[in-house]
Copies of this chain bind each other. A is one copy, B any other.
Amino acid sequence: MFSKSCEYAIKASIFIAQHRDGVTCVGVKEIAKGIQAPEYFVAKIIQELSRKKAINSIKGPNGGFCMSEAQMKKPILDIVVLMDGDGLVNNCILGLEHCSSDNPCPMHHEYQKIKQSMRNMLENNTVADFKSLVNLKKAVLNTN
């Protein structure tokens, strides 16, 4: 479904959003622990998110990562596309070059609805939405 990079990117975004109090930012180490992912790998990934303006970073002492309200209000789909591209919501499930009802693969008709609900889920839920679930203890980012 998602690549590991994408899984970590989603969880890291939510974690960063969750720990945003407007003052302090959160460092790689803490993020990696919070989402139970390898530290150096997470570093790579959130640096990429930062380069691509999905999150902000601050160097030096008391530095780390944080998100603006605007960034938190972006749909999760944005993160997914940054990491994995838009294949999940566009491509043919059987790998045909183009997914279209003109020349559909055998699974196309059945898959269309699923792909659409996948797209809806990713478009209609923001980082902030998922952050709230975690803050309300209705969801978790790790298995501790």
Q: What residues of chain A have their CB less than 8 Å away from a CB belonging to chain B?
A: 1-2, 4, 7, 10-11, 14, 76, 88, 91, 93-98, 103-108, 110-111, 113-114, 117-118, 121, 125, 130-131, 133-134, 138-143
Which of A14, A95, A108, A113 counts the most chain B CB atoms within 10 A?
A95
Between-chain CB contacts (< 8 Å), 19 pairs: A1-B88, A2-B94, A4-B95, A11-B94, A76-B107, A94-B141, A96-B140, A96-B142, A97-B143, A98-B143, A103-B140, A104-B138, A106-B134, A106-B141, A107-B130, A110-B125, A114-B117, A114-B121, A117-B117
User: Closest approach, in angstroms, between the C-beta of A15 and any C-beta of chain B?
Assistant: 10
Chain B, residue nearest A93 (CB): B1
Q: How far is the CA of A125 from the CA of B11 in the complex (A)?
A: 34
